[in-house]
Amino acid sequence: MSFFFGSRGNKTFKPKKNIPEGTHQYDLMKHAAATLGSGNLRQAVTLPEGEDLNEWVAVNTVDFFNQINMLYGTITEFCTEETCPVMSAGPKYEYHWADGHTIKKPIKCSAPKYIDYLMTWVQDQMDDETLFPSKIGVPFPKNFMSIAKTILKRLFRVYAHIYHQHFSQVIQLKEEAHLNTSFKHFIFFVQEFNLVDKRELAPLQDLIDKLTGVNQER
């Protein structure tokens, strides 16, 4: 079955990952959405009192996957084998794909191919109930945080590619406020729980400093 976003392109893309209604994670997601609505992103990312950190990270990781999915979906017609023959975030940063299973040795590929591999891989992780349990009482695996860190590190690369290679098109589509808010939320979240190494964030460090108010007079 094919899924695609918007009327701008017919590019096949991943379906949204849904959190089942009636589950505790669904309630957490509603809480996150309500806090986000207040406009205070720093407050929105903090762990709600008495909640499980793994569950909070899982819910937010799914949310970021969906957000990035939709943001990238708006510019897929501009991100092609011709325009983006390598997956990069500016001239100094190039990403090669490997998932450790079907592709063990990192391969050089175009940005659309890389992002397709990446989103398929994330979707597969999230659909695996042993990694992302949605049922109450089913424990998270002991290595859940390292799984989440790898997912978030890779999702960051899609933001980095969009900012470096497609920002003019994002402005054309009047999507920049949406992109900036989503990315700022992502950065506050990964900083709050130390989920992505600073060196991984280097391609967008100037933007991160600007969005988070670093080096600005208070």
Binding residue ranges for Zn(2+) = 79, 84, 161, 166
Q: What is the distance, to the nearest Å, from the Cα of residue 104 to the centroid of all Cα atoms in its chain?
A: 23
DSSP string, 95-144: E-B--SSS--S-B---HHHHHHHHHHHHHHHHH-TTTS--STTPPPPTTH
Indicate the residue type of 127. D
What whole-number distance in Å separates Cα of residue 37 and Cα of residue 60? Answer: 15
Is there a contact between 45 and 185 (Cβ–Cβ < 8 Å)? Answer: yes
Binding residues: 79, 84, 161, 166
